[in-house]
Chain A
Amino acid sequence: KAGVTQTPRYLIKTRGQQVTLSCSPISGHRSVSWYQQTPGQGLQFLFEYFSETQRNKGNFPGRFSGRQFSNSRSEMNVSTLELGDSALYLCASSGRGAGETQYFGPGTRLLVL
């Protein structure tokens, strides 16, 4: 079974731009969660989607948004990029989400200049 895939792997943007990251979960998984990882803050939960609905959200500003498609693929969008948004963005999938192990993708490394 193929693992979680994320595209692109690396991205360079400038302040004020917007970015869209993509995640394809493991086949059959319906829950997709997004995390931001930085050296200073560690792994921080952004949001979780299940069956195209956001059902859990972390403490991030509204510039961070996401969506999930009927095939469970998910995208996250960051608008009006700030320097502090530079991070590794990780996507994780699980079957149903509740009480199940999450499997992570390799991440998208975003650098904001």
Chain B
Amino acid sequence: GESVGLHLPTLSVQEGDNSIINCAYSNSASDYFIWYKQESGKGPQFIIDIRSNMDKRQGQRVTVLLNKTVKHLSLQIAATQPGDSAVYFCAENIRSGGYQKVTFGTGTKLQVIP
């Protein structure tokens, strides 16, 4: 079956260090992956995305790596700041007949230690 899972439910990182949040997926038909950040009391906020024809994409302080061989996705946050504390979700998007099906992982809570 298809599933998106996260390896670690909680990640504690010292302020200034780099954070790496991992995600495994099982559906090889997934063609688009998205990372979302959700702060307490808010809806998920888009961070960065990557299509299946890429293996790396960089944004501002964030990098997403995609390894299709082992069906693994990671989000790297450089110089982690207190404002990065949130729950991070990976999501996989499968296009089928012009429609999309988005499956979310369970989420990883990132705690930044000042």
- Give residues in A with beta carbon < 8 Å to B: 4, 33, 35, 42-43, 45, 48, 55-56, 90, 92, 97-107
Contacts and interface: CB of A to CB of B under 8 A. Distances in A.
Contacts of B101: 45, 56
A18 to B, nearest CB: 24
Contacts of A45: 101-103
Nearest to A91: B43
Tell me the interface secondary structure of chain A in the complex: strand
Contacts, number: 53
Interface centre among B34, B89, B100, B105 (most CB of A within 10 A): B100
Given A43-B89, A99-B93, A104 B44 contact: yes
Tell me the interface secondary structure of chain B in the complex: strand
A45 B41 CA distance: 19
Interface of B: 31-32, 34, 36, 41-46, 49, 89, 93, 95, 98-107
B99 A101 contact: no
Contact of B43 (A97, A98, A106): A106
